[in-house]
């Protein structure tokens, strides 16, 4: 008999979305569709460099509770996807076949995945969590519907290729790059010409055409300051529990994750902002407050 207090998780992977997004992240923007029609050997080598760690995704999803179903949607006759079948089957992932897209089949994975997820929520009323692996903005409506039906929604997408609106629609959103064990990609950069000044680094590409991607550190700092000010107004107290501050930051931006910014813990993130905040670590309950202007 199922424990009524247990958390039960359903995972849905838009497999093409993750594989293509990871390839473009590692090898350059929009490179997947360009490269696959050119040198087959070079394409295979670049695919290898951009291999997706399926285990990292599934292990993270399992941290929310018992996985009661896990489905991956793709055209499994494609050689690119077929090489992952062994890993997926070994992790008890159901492979849902999507036939090669034609003009009438656009967004086939999005539609099939969304229909299955909604059906599962009514068929399995004890589901508590829904994990959507894919950063496409088409999943915003699905995330919102899952939340309305009382499920906790977790999104996982590749950094730089995930909709910020989708992240906001989830209860929690994590970039694939921030999952434990996933290496940070090192995109190829052409060597600078002799005598030429080095080019300035550009910000990550837009997640949506009309959504410029802010600098992650600046965005996290602004989020921290906003959370502290909200806590100050709400509780009328100078000192706030750092766990409450982080929870408020996650509510405002589910994609916030201090580890993706290079910090081992939230306390490390706070210490790095010592010019803006004060952290009291004199007891096991860490407290934080805005630093007064005179103290900065």
Domain 8-178: give its CATH superfamily. Answer: 5'-nuclease (3.40.50.1010)
Within the chain, which residue ranges are assigned CATH 3.40.50.1010?
8-178
Q: Looking at residue 220, what is its pLDDT?
A: 94
**pLDDT, tens digit, 9 for 90 and up, residues 118-150:** 999 999 999 999 999 999 999 999 999 999 999
What is the pairing mode between strands 66-74 and 94-97? parallel
Percent of the chain with pLDDT over 90: 66
Q: Of 118, 109, 72, 68, which Cα lies nearest the Cα of 93?
A: 72
- 57 Cα distance to chain centroid: 10
Average pLDDT over residues 267-283: 94
Within the chain, which residue ranges are assigned CATH 3.30.420.610?
216-295
Q: Looking at residue 236, what is its pLDDT?
A: 77
Domain 216-295: give its CATH superfamily. Answer: LOTUS domain-like (3.30.420.610)
Q: How confident is the model at residue 191 (pLDDT cuts 50, 70, 90)?
A: very low
Average pLDDT over residues 166-193: 77
Cross-strand bridge partners of residue 155: 132, 173
Q: Looking at residue 166, what is its pLDDT?
A: 95
- Rounded to two decimals, the pTM is 0.77
pLDDT at 195 over 80: no
**pLDDT, tens digit, 9 for 90 and up, residues 27-86:** 999 899 999 888 899 999 999 999 999 999 999 999 999 999 999 999 999 999 999 999
Q: Looking at residue 117, what is its pLDDT?
A: 97
Residue 5: CB atoms within 10 Å: 6
Q: Which two tokens stand for residue 197?
A: 């000044």
Q: How confident is the model at residue 194 (pLDDT cuts 50, 70, 90)?
A: very low
pLDDT at 199 over 70: no
Kindly report the three-state secondary structure assignment for every residue of the chain.
CCCCCCCEEEEEEEHHHHHHHHHHHHHCCCHHHHHCCCCHHHHHHHHHHCCCCHHHHHHHHHCCCEEEEEEEEECCCCHHHHCCHHHHHHCCCEEEECCCCCHHHCCHHHHHHHHHHHHHHHHCCCCCEEEEECCCHHHHHHHHHHHHCCCEEEEEECCCCCCHHHHHHCCEEEEHHHCCCCCCCCCCCCCCCCCCCCCCCCCCCCCECCECCCCHHHHHHHHHHHHHHHHHHHHCCCCEEHHHHHHHHHHHCCCCCHHHHCCCCHHHHHHCCCCCEEEECCCCCCEEEECCHHHC
When the pLDDT of each residue in the chain is averaged and rounded to a whole number, the result is 86
């Amino acid at each position: 008999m199922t424990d009524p207090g247990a958390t039960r998780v359903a995972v849905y992977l838009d497999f093409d979305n993750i594989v293509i997004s990871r390839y473009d992240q590692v090898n350059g923007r929009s490179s997947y569709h360009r490269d696959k029609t050119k040198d087959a050997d070079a394409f295979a080598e670049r695919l290898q460099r951009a291999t997706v760690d399926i285990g990292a995704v599934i292990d993270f999803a399992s941290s929310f509770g018992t996985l009661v179903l896990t489905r991956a949607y793709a055209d499994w006759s494609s050689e690119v996807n077929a090489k992952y079948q062994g890993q997926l089957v070994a992790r008890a992932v159901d492979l849902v076949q999507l036939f090669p897209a034609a003009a009438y089949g656009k967004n086939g994975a999005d539609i099939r995945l969304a229909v299955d997820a909604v059906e599962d929520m009514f068929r399995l009323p004890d589901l508590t969590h829904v994990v959507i692996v894919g950063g496409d903005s088409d999943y915003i409506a699905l995330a919102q519907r899952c939340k309305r039906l009382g499920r906790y929604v977790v999104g996982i997408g590749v950094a730089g290729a995930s909709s910020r609106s989708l992240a906001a629609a989830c209860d929690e959103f994590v970039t694939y790059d921030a999952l434990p064990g996933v290496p940070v990609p090192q995109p190829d950069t052409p060597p600078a010409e002799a005598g030429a000044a080095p080019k300035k680094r550009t910000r990550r590409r837009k997640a949506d055409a009309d959504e410029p991607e802010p600098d992650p550190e600046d965005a996290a700092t602004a989020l921290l300051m906003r959370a502290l000010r909200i806590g100050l107004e709400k509780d009328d107290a100078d000192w706030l529990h750092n766990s409450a501050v982080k929870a408020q930051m996650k509510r405002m931006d589910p994609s916030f994750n201090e580890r993706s910014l290079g910090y081992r813990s939230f306390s490390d993130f706070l210490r790095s902002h010592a010019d803006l905040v004060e952290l009291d670590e004199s007891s096991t309950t860490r407290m934080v407050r805005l630093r007064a202007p005179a103290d900065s």
